Structure 1
Amino acid sequence: MQSQSRSLTPHVHWAQRHSELYLRVELSDVQSPEITITDNVLHFKAQGHGAKGDNVYEFQLAFLEPVMPRLVYKVTQRQLNITVQKKESTWWERLTKQERRPLFLAPDFDRWLDESDAEMELKAKEEEERINKIRIESRVPKDHSFYDTFHTIADMMYFCQTLAFIEILNSLVGIVRSPLVPSLLQVLGRNFVLFIVLGNVEEMQSKAVVFFVFYCWSIIELFRYPFYMLSCIDIEWKLLTWIRYTIWIPLYPLGALAEGKLQKHSLVDHAALYRDERVIHTLVSMVGIEKPENNWFKIN
């Protein structure tokens, strides 16, 4: 074995991309590698089998531009690969600060690209990442529906809840066996939430609780209206009857809780809503009475 006092340098091949540097050290059976970056200088020392046999090899490289102090290296049976991150994503005209290239350093033609080719590779990589991101986002369900519910289906809810006033008429003429007072309270309560609270306060429309209010309303009516329809023609479907008289047990309290949360937000954050003349006029019109002169029902 040769004397350890003599400094031996391995063959090093390098290549670059806009954000990274790649160094390939031609040493096999590498043991105890010591690789650090200090003051923008790469320090390498390792035991391995190189051009001068099994020895300790070392070298230093002062980089042309600033690099990140932390590096990544990988030891294989035939070589040692080092990856260094540039501080700025730029293209270097050379690797080292000194203009004259060290004798042990050479381009890595297996990975070598000129600047234009590297830019094309970078654009292709960015495009691939963008496509992969779109694919992942398309597979992962978003929670936007919780906040965009009102803007998505408001027109349909306005239409359906306006038609719901027919329920009161149906109770009056006896088409359905539903009591008049509960039907009146339910229709007026829902329309108050929809037309007054949500329709007049834009900030309330993007609340996540709107989704749960509309969800509870819709699930309840999904079984209630078919039940009434079959009852009008004297047909009883026992499964539907059981669902109709069972599903309200959890859904009505949940719906009332969601409606209460909406109205709580409107009272706390938008108390002026209940002092608005237009809102009072709408409320009076809904219940079919004339507005009192003394405005006794206003919130002061």
Structure 2
Amino acid sequence: MGRLARLYLFTYNAVQAGGWTVALIKLLTNVSATKSIDGAYDAAGQLICLLQLFSVMEVFHGAIGIVPNKVLPALMQWGGRTHFVAAIVCQIPEVQKLPAVFVTFAAWSLSEVIRYPQYALNTVGHCPGWLTWLRYSAFVVLYPIGAMFGEVLTMYHALPYIK
């Protein structure tokens, strides 16, 4: 990989890491201030939607060959998450206060504040082993929590509002 591609990937991943860190801080600050998890969308929903939309770049990274990702899995991951946040959570106000939205946003944020720094540091060849271990170990816990107790429950509650 060339120097320019490496610099771009480091910057992209660092920006995503920073954005997801801000989203996580907004979620936790809101919970601390309100003593409730019902305000996750109001606290960080727009930022999370923006970060998720921006992650389409990962599909292009694989397509142009600057990362070894397969395009189809990256597209499916991006499409599923983007549909969830942009078409369901952002468009159906009745689900925005659900605890399941907090669960989803918290699981996503926690996984991304690990994943993106790991990617960024790998890009420059300075990723500590513990961070790679944490990325894959946390994924085993966070993915099913976010998917089952977050996304699936939110979509279930959204069904009556979908026309």
TM-score (normalised: structure 2): 0.73
1:213 alignment counterpart: 104
Secondary structure of the structure 1 residue equivalent to 2:40: helix
| Contact persistence 1:176–1:232 (CA under 8 A) | no
Equivalent of residue 155 in structure 2, options 263, 272, 282: 263
List per-residue Cα deviations over 1:49-69 (Å, max 9, x = no partner): xxxxxxxxxxxxxxxxxxxxx
Q: Which structure is richer in relative contact order (CA contacts within 8 A, separation 6 or more)?
A: 2
Matched residues in 1 for 2:124 and 2:56: separation? 21
Report how far residue 182 of structure 1 moved. Answer: 2.2
Report how far residue 152 of structure 1 moved. Answer: 1.5
1:40 alignment counterpart: none
Runs of 4+ in 1 over 6 A off after TM superposition: none
List per-residue Cα deviations over 1:226-260 (Å, max 9, x = no partner): 11112222333111111112111011111111101
Greater gyration radius: 1
- Bigger helix fraction: 2
The alignment-based identity, stated in percent, is 27
| Contact persistence 2:45–2:90 (CA under 8 A) | no
* Structure 1 gap segments, 5+ residues each: 1-139, 273-300
Equivalent of residue 246 in structure 1, options 128, 133, 137: 137
What is the number of equivalent residue pairs in this alignment? 131
Equivalent of residue 80 in structure 2, options 168, 182, 189: 189
2:56 alignment counterpart: 165
Secondary structure of the structure 2 residue equivalent to 1:178: coil
Secondary structure of the structure 2 residue equivalent to 1:216: helix
The CA RMSD measured in Å over matched residues stands at 1.7
Q: Output the amino acid matched with 1:165.
A: V
| Contact persistence 1:176–1:228 (CA under 8 A) | no
Matched residues in 1 for 2:65 and 2:122: separation? 12
After TM superposition, the structure 1 = structure 2 runs for residues 103-252 of structure 1, keeping only pairs within 5 Å, are: 142-144=34-36, 146-252=37-143
Secondary structure of the structure 1 residue equivalent to 2:38: helix
Matched residues in 2 for 1:271 and 1:158: separation? 19
